[in-house]
Amino acid sequence: MMKRRNFIAKGAAGVGAAAAATTLSAPAIAKSRIEVVMVTTWPRDFPGLGTGAQRFAKRLSDMTAGRFQVKYFASGERVKAFDSFDEVASGNAQMYHAAEYYWKGKHPGFNYFTAVPFGLTDAEMNAWIQWGGGQELWDELTAKFGLKCIRCGNTGVQMGG
């Protein structure tokens, strides 16, 4: 049976080792700056969707203390709005911010990852994506195009798209 004093002494040694491990030098790659290009389907400063995309780009940089830099391009500044998917799929940009139903011509399954008339509410959509297998289906669909998509906003149910 271990006595409390022995347990504390052994635990303190473990804490010291953990603290020492965190003071080691980080690998050089962790210190480098990563620059990515984000294209959007929204005009610059477009209320809601456009400003949300701009905020996301800025917050990504802020959260990483500037190590992750996002060059934001609104619709028409680098490519036309509906060319943003192809810009990322081709590797010319690393991210897009758009509504997935814009890509229904590439595959009708994209419609289900955005608002559809009489579809899921925002809470239902989030639950499906996060816990109901939606992200796995989305991953399967977008892998065909060399993409990995994540949710970055939610407009809720829309009557007409």
Which pLDDT tens digit goes with each residue over 77-102?
999 999 999 999 999 999 999 999 99
Q: What value does the mean pLDDT of the chain take?
A: 83
The phi-psi region of residue 70 (left if phi > 0; otherwise alpha if psi is between -120 and 50; otherwise beta) is: beta
3-class secondary-structure state, position 93: coil
What residue segments make up the domains of the chain, in order of their start?
A: 32-98, 105-154
**Sheet of strand 68-73: strand arrangement:** 68-73, 34-40, 95-97
How sure is the predictor about 8, in pLDDT bands with cuts at 50, 70 and 90? Answer: very low
Which residue from 139, 138, 152 is spatially nearest to 109, judged by alpha carbons? 138
pTM of the predicted structure, to 2 decimals: 0.76
Which residue from 21, 135, 35, 46 is spatially nearest to 94, judged by alpha carbons? 35
Ranges assigned E (strand) in 74-118: 95-97
Q: What are the φ/ψ torsions at residue 68 (nearest 5 degrees)?
A: -115, 110
Q: What is the mean pLDDT of residues 23-29?
A: 50
Exposure of 139 in the CB half-sphere (CA atoms within 13 A): 6
Which pLDDT tens digit goes with each residue over 134-161?
999 999 999 999 999 999 888 777 766 5
Q: What is the mean pLDDT of residues 39-68?
A: 93
Which pLDDT tens digit goes with each residue over 100-117?
999 999 999 998 998 877
Alpha helices by DSSP H, listed for 64-153, are: 84-89, 122-131, 134-143
